[in-house]
Amino acid sequence: MDNSAQPKLASDYAYQTLYNKIVSLELSPGESISPVQLSKELGISRTPIQKASAKLAEDGLLEVLPQRGSYVSQINIDRIYESFYMRNLVEQAAVIKICDFDDRKDVCMQLEQNIYNQKKVLERELYEESFEIDEQFHHIIYKAANMLYIEKALAQISADQNRLRKLKVLSNMRADPTLQEHNNILESIRGGKAEEAALNIYKHISKFAGDTIAIHDKYPEYFSNWKNAEIKNLKLKKQSFFSF
């Protein structure tokens, strides 16, 4: 086990390692988890791995089946919808707050550099790096709006959302439109146009419906409860506060 992990409880270390493997898709939806193999790989006993697995099951990321073992959970459409719904509302509030700042030069410079960086890695087909830069774009907005605590709280319910977004990036889906959407958000913030910025956030995040359908078409085995999903019926709507 890495020395930096020593201060952590073994179960916390096992949880974080498994969580990262699942969200990064190193462990695919439906893949079997071997406690024996993990014990050897992480250099810890099976007991903390079992505790970590129980917590991941509570989070909806693992299915623990008696006498059959543990499996990475499929991507749940209901959890995706709820997490995107929350992200939509919070990020709109964040850009509205930023647009009210007297000085927005620093955040605009950071967002502009981020868009440039993402364009360059996409040109080189570095999709893993592209995902990290995409994550950073939204982090810049949360940080500028002094909403890092909310960003951290959202992360707790966004595991399935992140798996979907990772699949989208790795599949090189909607790369150019996503860059344009990011640029539209930036220009609204630069101009201090709060309502326009909120609408552009909404337009960007609401694309998750089409993205989800496209990803499902490519990886149907990765999803659960698809037949009952209402995601196909989502329409772009403008309300007093943009919502799904």
**pLDDT beyond 60 at 135:** yes
Res 6: pLDDT:
46
- For CA atoms 199, 201, 204, 208, give the dihedral sign: negative
152 vs 123: CA distance, rounded Å: 31
| Domains of the chain with bracketed CATH | 3-73 (1.10.10.10), 76-233 (1.20.120.530)
1 vs 12: CA distance, rounded Å: 13
Tell me the β-bridge partners of 65: 69
**pLDDT beyond 80 at 67:** no
* Residue 133: other Cβ atoms inside 10 A: 21
Query: Are 215 and 77 spatial neighbours (Cβ–Cβ below 8 Å)?
Result: no
pLDDT in tens, 146-158: 999 999 999 888 8
Assigned token pair, 52: 């970590």
Assigned token pair, 202: 């909404």
* Residue 213: other Cβ atoms inside 10 A: 14
Res 192: pLDDT:
97
Res 237: pLDDT:
47
Mean pLDDT score of the chain, rounded to an integer?
A: 87
203 vs 210: CA distance, rounded Å: 12
Tell me the β-bridge partners of 69: 65
User: Is the full-model pTM beyond 0.75?
Assistant: yes
Tell me the β-bridge partners of 75: 223
- For CA atoms 149, 132, 19, 234, give the dihedral sign: positive
